[in-house]
C-alpha cells in the first residue's frame, strides 16, 4: 500500500495553508463581537493601592471594564498547577494563589489587573491605557539563586524563602560514597538559559456566552482543548462542562506554550457573560513575551565520578529551577519527573542522586517548552561527559560507548526502565555520516583560513508518551495520560477518525490517515481526521510530550481492531464463510482463496441498512477506544555538530549537523525529518542565539523580535538526518515519538563543538559572538600567563 506505514505521503492539510484558507482563531469574527485588551502591571512586584476604571468606562465604544475583585466575587477560581510535588521533608508544594486578574498584588511585569471590552481593538487598547492603577512598588527578585538568598523579597505569603518545593530522587549516601571512591571526578556548574517558545501564531481567544441557552463557546489556540474545558469547568467555575464547548481550530504552532489555560481565556469567558458580547482577544508579540509561559531556566551543579577504566560510578546533581511568579499548569513536573528521571542518559550508572529546589521569582511563569525537562537533563549529562573525557584525555565517543546501556529492559536508579534501544548503532551511523575520521583534515584546512573548527557529540535519550496513568498519578499528576479515538465508517465506506490528539503543525491529518489506510487498504483521500472540538470528540489529552504517535495512534489502532472484527463478522455472515477466512485487501473484504468478496463500502452499507447482519448484532459501524500505555517510550540518538569560529570576532557558524535517531516505527519519514529539523533549529537557537533577559527591576529586555534573537534562515545549516531504529515493545505500532528529540539532543552538541574549537570549556548558552569572543580572550590570557 503506497500510502501506508513508512510512505512519504504529501500532507493532506497543506492545500489550505498554501492557499491562505487555513482557519486560525484570529481569522474568526463572531456576530456581536467586541474586542478585549488587558491592563497589565508595568512593575515586577507591587501592591495595588487603587484602581480607577471610571475614565475608561466613559470612553467611546467601551462596553465594560472588569477587575480582579469582581472576578473573585463571581466565584471564578484561582489558576492551578495540575501536578503535586512532595518535598524531601514530606510536605506538599507551596502553591501561591494566582487569580486571572490580580487582586492585591502583582508579581511580574505583564500580570493582568483588568480586562477592557470595547467595540474595536483600538478602542479597547486606548481605554486600557486610561485605567488608572496606583501601585506601591515592592523589592524585586528575578534569578533563582537570588530568590533563595536569606533576605530575598517574599513573593507569595505561603512560600517561605520563595521555595515551592525542595525535592529529591535517588539515593544520597551510596552516591556520595561512589563519588568519594572514584578515580576521577568531574564537577561543573551548568546553566540552562530561559527561552520564549514563540509559536508564530500569537495566542488568541474568542468567548461567546449564549444567554438563552446558558452556554459558552470558546475558540482558542490550544494544544489540548479537552483538558482546557475540564479545567475551565472543574477548577475555574466558568461553566459546567456540558455548557462549555471548546474549539481549537487551526493552531499555528505550540511547542508547549499552548498547553496551559491562561488568565486571558478565563477573563474573556467571564467578560462575555458579564457583557453579553462575544469577546475576542489576540496577543501581540510583546504581550506573548510577557505572558506566554517560558521554558528552561535551571542553575545546576553536577558531579560525576569514574573508576580508573572510565566507567561511571556515580552522578550527583543539584538544580535550582526558576518557575517564575506563579505555578503554571504542569510547571512542577518539568524540573522533577521530566528532568531528573533522565539523568542516567544512555549510560549504565549505578548511583544517581538529584535534588531540586523550585523557586518563585518576579518573572513570567515557566512551564514545559519543547522537550520540557529532558533538554535540561541531556544538557547536564552530555556536557559533563564531554568535559570528563577532555579531563581524562579520552576520546569523547569512546568514553560514552564504554558506558552505554546494552541490555534491555534496563532499570535506572531514577525510576525509568528503558525498554529498547541500540545506542552503538546510532553512534556509528552518526559518525559515518559526519565523516568523523576526516575531521582532523577539515580542522587543518579551516586553520589555513584562520578559522577554529570544533566537533561535539550529544548522545541523548528522552522519554515520551508519559504513562501509564496509574503510575503518573502516583507521582502526583492530576490527570490520566491515556488517549481516546473513535473510528466511524460511514455507510458509503469513507472513514472519519475522531482523536483526542491535536495537530498544530505535526501533520496528523496525514499520518493518522496513513495508519488507517494501511489497516483497511484504502486511499488516504477516503479518510478524514477530526480533532480539536469538544462537541465532536468526547475527550482527549491533547498533544505535547511527543505523545500523539505512541499514545494517540495506539488508541486509533485499538478502535480499528474492533472495527475490523465487526467487518469480518458481517462479511462472514453475508458471504457464508468462517470469520477466520476473511481478509481485507484492495478495497474489498474477501474470503481467502476464493473469488467471493464484498467491496469495502458494501460492508459499510450492510452495517447501516442492517438488512442482513448476524443475528443479535447492533447495526452501524463505529467503534471507540481509550488507550493507556504500559510504559514511557524512549527515543534516543546521537547528534554530531561541527562548527567554525572566527577568532577575530567570535562569530560561529554551524557547518555540519548530523542526527541519527531511534524513533521506533516511522509512519511518514518526510514528516519525521521535518520534526527533527525544527527541533534542531530550536536547539541551535538555544545554544547560540536565544535568551530571555530581565533587568534587576524585572523588566524583560528581550520582549520583541528586535531584542530576542529568533533563529533565521541564515543562522542555520542544512541538517543531515538519519535513522537507526529499534521497535518499541510498549505499543502496537512500535513507535517512540519524534517531536522533541531535536530540541533535546542538539544544545550540548553545539556547545561541545564550540568549546572544542576555542579550547575553553567555560562557555554558557547562548554562545553569542561576544560570549565566544570573551571566552577566546580568556584562553589567550591563560596561555599568556603560562
Partner 1 sequence: MKITMTVNGKSVSRDVAGNTLLVDYIRDHLRLTGTHVGCDTSQCGACVVHLDGKAMKSCTMLAASAEGASVTTVEGLATSKDDLHPMQIAFKENHGLQCGFCTPGMIMTATDMVARYQAAGKTLTEDDIRHELEGNICRCTGYHNIVKSISDGASKMTSA
User: What CA–CA distance (Å, rounded) separates 691 from 258?
Assistant: 20
Other C-beta atoms closer than 10 Å to the C-beta of 593 total 8
* Helix 423-433 × helix 396-403 angle, to 10°: 160
If one asks whether residue 29 binds partner 1 (CB under 8 A), the answer comes out as: yes
* Coil/strand/helix, residue 243: helix
Q: Please give the grid coordinates belonging to residue 330.
A: 504542569
Q: Which residue has the cell 480533532?
A: 531
* Coil/strand/helix, residue 557: helix
If one asks whether residue 682 binds partner 1 (CB under 8 A), the answer comes out as: yes
If one asks whether residue 571 binds partner 1 (CB under 8 A), the answer comes out as: no
Stretch that binds partner 1, among 359-367, 465-473, 566-574, 679-687 (CB under 8 A): 679-687
| Residue placing its CB nearer to partner 1 in the complex, 509 or 756 | 509
Number of residues that bind partner 1 (CB under 8 A): 57
- Pick from 110, 365, 678, 748 the residue near partner 1 by CB under 8 A: 678
| Residue placing its CB nearer to partner 1 in the complex, 697 or 710 | 710
Percentages (nearest 5) of helix, strand, coil residues in the chain: 30, 25, 45
Min dist CB 556 to partner 1, Å, is 21
Other C-beta atoms closer than 10 Å to the C-beta of 657 total 27
Stretch that binds partner 1, among 84-92, 558-566, 629-637, 669-677 (CB under 8 A): 669-677
If one asks whether residue 10 binds partner 1 (CB under 8 A), the answer comes out as: yes
Reduce the secondary structure of 92-108 to three states and give it as a string.
ECCCCCCCCCCCCEECC
If one asks whether residue 250 binds partner 1 (CB under 8 A), the answer comes out as: yes
Residues 6+ apart with CB under 8 A from 11: 507, 509, 510, 671
If one asks whether residue 406 binds partner 1 (CB under 8 A), the answer comes out as: no
Other C-beta atoms closer than 10 Å to the C-beta of 670 total 15
Give the residue from 255, 223, 497 showing the smallest Cα distance to 372: 255
- Pick from 535, 576, 615, 714 the residue near partner 1 by CB under 8 A: 714
If one asks whether residue 701 binds partner 1 (CB under 8 A), the answer comes out as: no
- Pick from 17, 75, 139, 473 the residue near partner 1 by CB under 8 A: 17
| Residue placing its CB nearer to partner 1 in the complex, 518 or 673 | 673
If one asks whether residue 18 binds partner 1 (CB under 8 A), the answer comes out as: yes
Instruction: Examine residue 409 and say whether the peptide bond preceding it is cis (omega within 30 degrees of 0).
Output: yes
| Residue placing its CB nearer to partner 1 in the complex, 253 or 480 | 253
What track of x and - describes contact with partner 1 for positions 580 through 619 (by CB under 8 A)? ----------------------------------------
User: What CA–CA distance (Å, rounded) separates 684 from 639?
Assistant: 12
Min dist CB 503 to partner 1, Å, is 9
- Pick from 4, 22, 61, 491 the residue near partner 1 by CB under 8 A: 22
User: What CA–CA distance (Å, rounded) separates 219 from 542?
Assistant: 16
What track of x and - describes contact with partner 1 for positions 181 through 220 (by CB under 8 A)? -----------------xxxxx------------------
| Residue placing its CB nearer to partner 1 in the complex, 208 or 543 | 543
Residues 6+ apart with CB under 8 A from 470: none
Number of H helices, E strands in the chain: 20, 28
Min dist CB 287 to partner 1, Å, is 9
User: What CA–CA distance (Å, rounded) separates 516 from 623?
Assistant: 13
Stretch that binds partner 1, among 12-20, 178-186, 462-470, 635-643 (CB under 8 A): 12-20
If one asks whether residue 249 binds partner 1 (CB under 8 A), the answer comes out as: no
| Residue placing its CB nearer to partner 1 in the complex, 7 or 169 | 7
Min dist CB 360 to partner 1, Å, is 29
Min dist CB 365 to partner 1, Å, is 20
Q: Is the dihedral of CA 392, 398, 399, 400 positive or negative?
A: positive
If one asks whether residue 82 binds partner 1 (CB under 8 A), the answer comes out as: no
User: What CA–CA distance (Å, rounded) separates 449 from 153?
Assistant: 53
Q: Could you tell me if 420 and 727 are in contact, meaning their C-beta atoms sit under 8 angstroms apart?
A: yes
Q: Could you tell me if 375 and 345 are in contact, meaning their C-beta atoms sit under 8 angstroms apart?
A: no
Min dist CB 273 to partner 1, Å, is 25
Which residues are bridge partners to 347 per DSSP?
404
User: What CA–CA distance (Å, rounded) separates 102 from 114?
Assistant: 8
- Pick from 705, 762, 770, 782 the residue near partner 1 by CB under 8 A: 705
If one asks whether residue 686 binds partner 1 (CB under 8 A), the answer comes out as: no
First vs last Cα of the chain: how many Å apart?
67
If one asks whether residue 784 binds partner 1 (CB under 8 A), the answer comes out as: no
If one asks whether residue 61 binds partner 1 (CB under 8 A), the answer comes out as: no
User: What CA–CA distance (Å, rounded) separates 201 from 250?
Assistant: 10
Give the residue from 372, 469, 399, 433 showing the smallest Cα distance to 679: 372
- Pick from 54, 91, 122, 762 the residue near partner 1 by CB under 8 A: 122
User: What CA–CA distance (Å, rounded) separates 346 from 462?
Assistant: 9
Min dist CB 505 to partner 1, Å, is 3
| Residue placing its CB nearer to partner 1 in the complex, 253 or 620 | 253
Min dist CB 703 to partner 1, Å, is 10
Distances (CA, A) of 592 to 347, 567, 576: 49, 15, 12
Which residues are bridge partners to 499 per DSSP?
485
If one asks whether residue 529 binds partner 1 (CB under 8 A), the answer comes out as: no
Stretch that binds partner 1, among 39-47, 245-253, 534-542, 552-560 (CB under 8 A): 245-253
If one asks whether residue 783 binds partner 1 (CB under 8 A), the answer comes out as: no
Min dist CB 34 to partner 1, Å, is 14
If one asks whether residue 129 binds partner 1 (CB under 8 A), the answer comes out as: no
Reduce the secondary structure of 455-482 to three states and give it as a string.
EEEEEEECCECCCCHHHHHHCCECCCCC
Q: DSSP class of residue 694? A: B
If one asks whether residue 23 binds partner 1 (CB under 8 A), the answer comes out as: yes
What distance separates the 2 farthest-apart alpha carbons in the chain? 94
Min dist CB 13 to partner 1, Å, is 7
Q: Which residue has the cell 475522531?
A: 498
If one asks whether residue 369 binds partner 1 (CB under 8 A), the answer comes out as: no
Please tell me the total number of residues recorded for the chain in this structure.
Answer: 786
- Pick from 371, 532, 637, 679 the residue near partner 1 by CB under 8 A: 679
If one asks whether residue 695 binds partner 1 (CB under 8 A), the answer comes out as: no
Residues 275-314 that bind partner 1 (CB under 8 A): 284-286
Site residues, partner 1 (CB under 8 A): 10-11, 13-24, 26-27, 29, 122, 198-202, 250-253, 255, 284-286, 504-507, 670-671, 673-674, 677-682, 704-706, 710-714, 716, 718-719, 742
Amino acid at each position: 500500500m503506497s500510502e501506508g506505514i513508512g510512505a512519504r505521503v504529501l500532507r493532506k492539510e497543506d492545500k489550505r495553508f498554501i492557499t491562505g484558507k487555513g482557519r486560525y482563531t484570529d481569522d474568526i469574527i463572531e456576530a456581536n463581537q467586541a474586542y478585549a485588551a488587558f491592563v497589565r502591571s508595568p512593575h515586577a512586584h507591587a501592591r495595588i493601592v487603587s484602581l480607577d476604571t471610571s475614565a475608561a468606562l466613559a470612553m467611546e465604544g467601551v462596553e465594560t471594564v472588569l477587575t480582579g475583585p469582581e472576578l473573585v466575587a463571581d466565584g471564578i477560581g484561582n489558576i492551578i498547577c495540575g501536578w503535586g510535588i512532595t518535598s524531601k521533608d514530606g510536605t506538599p508544594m507551596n502553591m501561591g494563589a494566582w487569580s486571572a486578574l490580580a487582586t492585591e498584588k502583582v508579581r511580574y511585569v505583564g500580570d493582568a489587573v483588568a480586562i477592557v471590552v470595547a467595540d474595536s481593538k483600538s478602542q479597547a487598547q486606548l481605554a486600557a491605557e486610561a485605567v488608572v492603577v496606583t501601585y506601591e512598588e515592592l523589592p524585586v527578585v528575578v534569578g533563582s539563586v537570588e530568590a533563595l538568598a536569606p533576605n530575598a523579597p517574599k513573593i507569595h505569603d505561603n512560600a517561605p524563602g520563595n521555595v515551592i518545593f525542595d525535592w529529591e530522587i535517588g539515593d544520597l549516601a551510596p552516591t556520595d560514597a561512589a563519588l568519594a571512591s572514584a578515580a576521577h571526578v568531574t564537577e561543573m556548574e551548568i546553566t540552562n538559559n530561559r527561552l520564549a517558545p514563540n509559536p508564530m501564531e500569537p495566542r488568541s481567544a474568542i468567548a461567546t456566552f449564549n444567554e438563552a441557552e446558558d452556554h459558552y463557546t470558546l475558540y482558542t489556540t490550544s494544544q489540548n482543548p479537552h483538558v482546557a474545558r475540564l479545567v475551565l469547568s472543574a477548577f475555574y467555575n466558568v461553566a459546567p462542562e456540558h455548557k462549555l464547548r471548546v474549539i481549537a481550530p487551526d493552531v499555528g504552532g505550540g511547542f508547549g506554550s499552548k498547553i496551559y489555560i491562561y488568565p486571558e481565556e478565563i477573563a474573556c469567558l467571564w467578560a462575555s457573560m458579564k457583557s453579553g458580547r462575544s469577546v475576542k482577544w489576540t496577543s501581540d508579540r510583546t504581550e506573548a513575551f510577557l505572558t506566554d509561559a517560558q521554558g528552561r531556566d535551571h542553575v545546576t551543579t553536577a558531579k560525576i565520578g569514574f573508576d580508573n577504566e572510565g566507567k561511571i560510578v556515580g552522578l550527583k546533581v543539584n538544580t535550582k529551577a526558576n518557575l517564575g511568579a506563579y505555578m503554571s499548569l504542569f510547571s512542577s513536573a518539568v524540573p522533577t519527573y521530566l528532568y531528573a528521571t533522565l539523568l542516567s542518559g544512555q549510560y549504565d550508572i549505578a548511583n544517581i542522586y538529584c535534588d531540586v529546589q523550585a523557586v518563585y521569582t518576579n518573572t513570567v511563569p515557566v512551564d514545559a517548552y519543547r522537550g520540557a525537562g529532558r533538554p535540561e537533563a541531556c544538557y547536564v549529562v552530555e556536557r559533563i561527559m564531554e568535559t570528563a573525557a577532555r579531563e581524562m584525555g579520552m576520546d569523547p565517543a569512546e568514553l560514552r560507548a564504554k558506558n552505554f546501556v546494552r541490555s534491555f529492559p534496563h532499570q535506572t536508579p531514577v525510576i525509568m526502565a528503558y525498554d529498547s534501544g541500540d545506542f552503538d548503532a546510532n553512534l556509528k551511523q552518526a559518525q559515518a555520516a559526519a565523516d568523523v575520521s576526516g575531521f582532523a583534515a577539515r580542522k587543518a584546512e579551516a586553520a589555513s583560513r584562520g578559522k577554529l573548527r570544533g566537533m561535539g557529540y550529544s548522545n541523548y535519550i528522552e522519554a515520551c508518551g508519559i504513562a501509564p496513568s496509574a503510575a503518573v498519578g502516583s507521582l502526583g499528576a492530576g490527570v490520566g495520560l491515556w488517549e481516546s479515538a473513535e473510528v466511524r465508517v460511514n455507510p458509503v465506506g469513507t472513514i472519519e477518525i475522531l482523536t483526542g490528539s491535536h495537530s498544530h503543525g505535526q501533520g496528523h491529518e496525514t499520518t493518522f490517515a496513513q495508519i488507517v489506510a494501511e489497516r483497511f487498504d484504502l486511499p488516504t483521500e477516503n479518510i478524514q481526521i477530526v480533532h480539536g472540538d469538544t462537541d465532536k470528540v468526547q475527550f482527549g489529552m491533547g498533544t505535547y510530550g511527543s505523545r500523539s504517535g505512541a499514545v494517540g495512534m495506539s488508541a486509533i489502532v485499538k478502535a480499528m481492531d474492533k472495527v475490523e472484527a465487526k467487518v469480518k463478522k458481517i462479511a462472514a455472515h453475508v458471504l457464508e464463510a468462517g470469520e477466520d477466512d476473511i481478509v481485507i485487501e484492495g478495497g474489498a473484504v474477501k474470503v481467502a482463496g476464493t473469488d467471493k468478496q464484498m467491496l469495502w463500502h458494501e460492508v459499510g452499507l450492510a452495517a447501516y441498512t442492517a438488512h442482513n447482519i448476524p443475528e443479535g448484532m447492533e447495526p452501524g459501524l463505529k467503534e471507540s477506544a481509550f488507550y493507556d500505555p504500559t510504559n514511557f517510550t524512549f527515543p534516543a540518538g546521537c547528534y554530531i555538530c561541527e562548527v567554525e569560529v572566527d577568532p577575530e570576532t567570535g562569530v560561529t557558524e554551524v557547518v555540519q549537523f548530523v542526527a541519527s535517531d531511534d524513533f521506533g516505527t516511522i509512519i511518514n519519514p518526510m514528516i519525521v525529518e521535518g520534526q527533527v529539523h525544527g527541533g534542531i533549529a530550536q536547539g541551535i537557537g538555544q545554544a547560540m542565539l536565544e535568551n530571555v533577559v530581565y533587568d534587576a527591576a524585572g523588566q524583560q529586555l528581550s520582549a520583541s523580535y528586535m531584542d530576542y534573537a529568533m533563529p533565521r534562515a541564515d543562522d542555520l545549516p542544512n541538517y543531515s538526518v538519519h535513522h537507526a531504529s529499534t521497535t518499541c515493545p510498549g505499543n502496537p505500532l512500535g513507535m517512540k515519538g519524534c517531536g522533541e528529540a531535536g530540541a533535546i539532543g542538539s544544545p550540548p552538541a553545539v556547545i561541545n563543538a564550540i568549546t572544542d574549537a576555542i579550547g575553553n570549556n567555560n562557555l554558557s548558552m547562548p554562545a553569542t559572538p561576544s560570549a565566544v569572543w570573551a571566552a577566546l580572550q580568556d584562553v589567550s590570557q591563560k596561555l599568556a600567563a603560562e
